[in-house]
Structure 1
């Protein structure tokens, strides 16, 4: 699966069984299924990409102080673009070098 196929899959009824836990969480986050995405992020706490996702989710919810905590845990600066741009940036880390 390529990034564009993944992004297009957000319109599907269910996530592909072939998705990694991170992509599954991003799939739910991209569909505004916050609780499911958050549960997956919490289950992988301490892993940088999941901590970044955790920050994104709290930012999405409007909880800037909690998001700041998770950005620090992920070793990343707070993202300055839109929620959607951050979602895409994180998702694209799973397809390095792909335009």
Structure 2
């Protein structure tokens, strides 16, 4: 699946089958359900989940919590828009 197809899938009521927890989180976030998005990565280990956590807490407006998660992911805080960060995160995970 590429980014265009991923975005098109947002017209559905549920995410496509086979998405990783990180992609599920990004899908639910794009649908406007921050809580469901956060739940997808809340108990997931590793830097990938931490990176999505960082984005979600940045979007929430909790810079301190976002900073913690960027650090846990080993990533610098994103400097662009939330939309640009979402697209970058989604495209990178879809390419894996």
TM-score by shorter chain over 0.5: yes
Taking the aligned partners of 1:96 and 1:26, their CA distance within structure 2 comes to 14
SS in 1 for 2:19: coil
1:85 aligns with 2:84: yes
List gaps (5 residues or longer) in structure 1: none
1:24 aligns with 2:24: yes
Residue correspondences, number: 96
* Structural RMSD (CA): 1.5
TM-score, length of structure 1 as denominator length: 0.88
Query: Following TM superposition, by how much is the alpha carbon of 1:21 offset from its aligned partner in structure 2, in angstroms?
Result: 1.8
Higher normalized helix content (fraction of residues): 2
Match of 1:54 in 2: 53
Taking the aligned partners of 1:24 and 1:95, their CA distance within structure 2 comes to 11
List gaps (5 residues or longer) in structure 2: none
Moved >6 Å (runs of 4+): none
1:6 aligns with 2:3: no
SS in 1 for 2:93: coil
Query: Following TM superposition, by how much is the alpha carbon of 1:66 offset from its aligned partner in structure 2, in angstroms?
Result: 0.5
